[in-house]
Amino acid sequence: MADAQPILPPMIISPEREGTRPMVQVLHDWIVTVDHKKLGLMYFGYGIIFLVIGGIEAAIMRAQLAVANNHLVSPETFNRLFTMHGTTMIFFAAMPLVFGFANYLVPLMVGARDMAFPRLNAWSFWMSVFGGLILYFSWVGGFGLYGAGSAPDVGWFAYAPLTASSFSVGHSTDYWIIGILVSGFGSIGTALNVLTTTFCLRCPGMTLRRMPLLVWMNAVTMFLVLVALSPLTAAQVMLLIDRYLGGHFFDTQAGGSAVIWMHFFWIFGHPEVYILVLPAFAIVSEVIPVFSRKPIFGYNIMVAATVAIGFISLSVWAHHMFTIGMTSYANAFFVASTSAISVPTGIKIFNWIGTMWGGKIRYSVAMLFCVAFLCQFLIAGLTGIMLAAAPFDWQLGNSYFVVAHFHYVILGGIVMAIFAGVYYWYPKVTGKMLSETLGKWHFWLFVIGFHLTFDFMHIPGLLGMPRRIYTYDASRGWEIWNLIVSIGVIFQILGIVFLVLDLIWSYFKGAPAGNDPWDAWTLEWNTTSPPPDYNFAEIPVVLSRRPLWDLKHPEDPDWKYE
């Protein structure tokens, strides 16, 4: 068996479709498709659209806060903006983006022809889309077309009793509930699908210990979606019962508890952070080894740390609630569990550094984003440790320090990793290389903008500025910091413009990529770019974690060492 050649060189497959077809027919193909690659791309496009919408909302808020006592938007509009910004970015930008990567890559990387349930996959995608449309319909549909419409204004965690029908009159909160509920069903469907694909459709020889880390991390993510998103679904059904059937789950007038909503929300809310960040880890764990020219350092430990993060993340939720007056024992418990999660997370950072150590690092834009990710995620983790110390959190919680912290996680960590993934897999998806020049403009503008905005955003928090205020008085000394924060936004917008330019320009004018432009090692690089509908002409057989390394280095294959 040792002499056999398990992986075939990629087959050349001639394009099977004629070049030009009517637009309507192409569109129809995309709408009715059950192909995991097309759905993955649609998830991605959908996520980018909402990323831009959520970004515009953020930019308006930053314009409002740039100077003290500003009157650019009314308090009502501001409250809608931050509610929509948070909800959009979490549920309709970040989640579709990471689901897009999972959809596109998991079947390719396990050597399968599609997901386990392709039609369920399409259903899940369209549910997510409808969820986003329902949420955004609220701008015009809440009370009809009056003024700014009536988007929800309850905050993205929608604390009771602000969502009760007595405080939230009209239907804005209902759009929030139903939008997320509907997209939540889609997410659960996707989770089920990816998990089943991972368990049942791996190619021969791919044992769990030979799965690419990306697949491992996405599997843990999807497990978290199953167990953590469902509680949110349950809580939102309860909220609907309260609002429509006169129930009292969160009705404080009738003995209901506002605190139990917080528990239910954060039982979802904290694992959600890991639902988003594990796929980011997954991307980084694929990109860093390839550009460092070394296998991932400590594969087994990385898998163990991922699983540990998955489980510990289910027991840390109440660190979002240190200020609600829990007993000292409860607070101490959540300090312990929250600090504990920094251990497996730290192990991952060290393993990535260990992977770079002794390598020959090639700095393409994808790798630049990974290094930025490492530095920013380090800082995000450290401010997280500060917030995990409950007494420190009594000061920092709900201040701009927290806002800066979680944007460091989401933008500095997750989105930067997604950018790395875009530059890494774009050649596979389109068959064209992205322009490195435009990419470097994107990288530097975005990173500078990010640091202007979010480094300085910590400071007003330390100076007592709470989040979610539409204005503040000049005497508080927050103005200069807020101005710097708002200026950073301009750089970020410019960075995104360069990304979009790069994506479009390279699609038409980019250099041809070939099957394996990065000299990489996982199965997706063993098929054509873009891959054919059926992914692999013959189902591959693997003997190690890096099947293409074995193919390229028959004298020194990986399976000898694993």
Partner 1 sequence: MLAAFLLTSSGLLLAQPAGPSPIPSIFDPHSTPAHDIYHLSLFVLSICATIFLVVFSLIVYAAFKYRHRPSDDDCEPPQIYGSNQVELAWTVIPILIVVVLFLASARVIHAVEDAQFPPDAIQVTATGHQFWWEFEYPKYGFVTANELHVPVSANGQSLPIHIMLLSADTDHSFWVPQLAGKTDLIPNRRNETWIEPHEVGIYVGQCAQYCGTQHAKMLLSVVVQSPEDFQRWVQEQKAPAVMSPQVAEGRRVFETNACMNCHTITGTIANGRFGPDLTHLMSRKTIASGAAPNDEQNLRLWVKEPDAIKPGSLMPAMQLNDHDQDALVAYLMSLQ
Partner 2 sequence: MAAATITVPQTEMPLSASYRGKVGMWCLIVAESAIFSIFVVAYLYYAGKSISGPTPAQVLDIPWFNSICLFSSSLTIVLAEKALHHGNIKRFGLFWFLTIALGVIFLIGTGREWYGLIYHDGLTVSSSLFGTTFYSLVGLHAFHVTVGLIGLTIILIFTLLGALRQEHAARVSVFAMYWHFVDVIWVVVLSVVYFIAR
Using CB under 8 A as the binding rule, the residues of this chain from 413 to 472 that contact partner 1 are 451, 454-456, 458-459, 462-464, 466-472
Using the rule CB under 8 A, is 259 a contact of partner 1?
yes
The Cα 54–Cα 90 span in angstroms is 10
Considering CB distances under 5 to 8 angstroms, the limit depending on partner class, which of partner 1, partner 2, none binds residue 500?
A: none
Among 72, 140, 148, 324, binds partner 1 (CB under 8 A): 324
Considering CB distances under 5 to 8 angstroms, the limit depending on partner class, which of partner 1, partner 2, none binds residue 199?
A: partner 2
Write the CA distances from 182 to 65, 104, 132, 174, 230, integer angstroms.
33, 22, 9, 12, 12
Whichever of 181 and 520 has its CB closer to partner 2, that residue is 181
Phi–psi pair at 512, nearest 5 degrees: -60, 140
Using the rule CB under 8 A, is 6 a contact of partner 2?
yes
Using the rule CB under 8 A, is 193 a contact of partner 2?
yes
The Cα 469–Cα 75 span in angstroms is 8
Using the rule CB under 8 A, is 230 a contact of partner 2?
yes
Q: Residues near 68 by Cβ (< 8 Å), separated by ≥ 6? A: 471, 472, 473, 474, 476, 478, 479, 482
Using the rule CB under 8 A, is 534 a contact of partner 1?
no
Among 30, 199, 311, 394, binds partner 2 (CB under 8 A): 199
The Cα 427–Cα 439 span in angstroms is 14
470: its two tokens: 């539409």
Using the rule CB under 8 A, is 396 a contact of partner 1?
yes
Considering CB distances under 5 to 8 angstroms, the limit depending on partner class, which of partner 1, partner 2, none binds residue 245?
A: partner 2
The residues that bridge with 432 in the sheet, in sequence order, are: 512
Among 76, 162, 248, 307, binds partner 2 (CB under 8 A): 248
* Backbone region of residue 164 per phi and psi (left: phi > 0; alpha: psi in -120 to 50; beta: other values): beta
Among 159, 185, 444, 505, binds partner 1 (CB under 8 A): 159
Smallest separation, CB 319 to partner 1 (Å) = 11
SS (H, E, C) 256-316: CCHHHHHHHHHHHHHHHHHHHHHHHHHHHHHHHHHHHCCCCCCHHHHHHHHHHHHHHHHHC
Considering CB distances under 5 to 8 angstroms, the limit depending on partner class, which of partner 2, partner 1, none binds residue 462?
A: partner 1
Smallest separation, CB 376 to partner 2 (Å) = 32
SS (H, E, C) 159-190: CCCCCCCCCCCCCHHHHHHHHHHHHHHHHHHH
Classify each residue of 142-164 as buried b or exposed e, where b means 16 or more C-beta atoms within 10 Å of its C-beta.
beeeeeebbbbbbbbbbebbbbb
Query: What ranges in 246-257 are assigned the alpha helix state H?
Result: none
Whichever of 15 and 255 has its CB closer to partner 2, that residue is 255
Read off the amino acid at residue 158.
A
- Which residues inside 407-446 make contact with partner 2, applying CB under 8 A? none
412: its two tokens: 């500095």
Whichever of 233 and 395 has its CB closer to partner 1, that residue is 395
- Stretch of residues binding partner 1 (CB under 8 A), selected from 103-111, 197-205, 333-341, 425-433: 333-341
Q: Counting beta carbons within 10 angstroms of the beta carbon of residue 253, is it exposed (0 to 12), middle (13 to 18) or buried (19 or more)?
A: exposed
Rg, the chain, Cα only? 24
Using the rule CB under 8 A, is 475 a contact of partner 1?
yes
Smallest separation, CB 392 to partner 2 (Å) = 30
Considering CB distances under 5 to 8 angstroms, the limit depending on partner class, which of partner 2, partner 1, none binds residue 8?
A: partner 2
Assess contact for 433 and 517: CB atoms under 8 A: yes
Write the CA distances from 81 to 84, 152, 461, integer angstroms.
5, 9, 20
Smallest separation, CB 90 to partner 1 (Å) = 16
Smallest separation, CB 525 to partner 1 (Å) = 16
Using the rule CB under 8 A, is 204 a contact of partner 2?
yes
Q: Say how many residues touch partner 1, by CB under 8 A.
A: 102
Considering CB distances under 5 to 8 angstroms, the limit depending on partner class, which of partner 1, partner 2, none binds residue 340?
A: partner 1
Binding map of partner 2 across residues 96-125, x = CB under 8 A, - = no contact: --------------------xx--------
Residues that bind partner 2 (CB under 8 A): 1, 4-6, 8, 116-117, 188, 191-193, 195-196, 199-207, 223, 226-231, 233-235, 237-238, 241-242, 245-249, 254-257, 260, 264, 267, 538, 540-541, 543
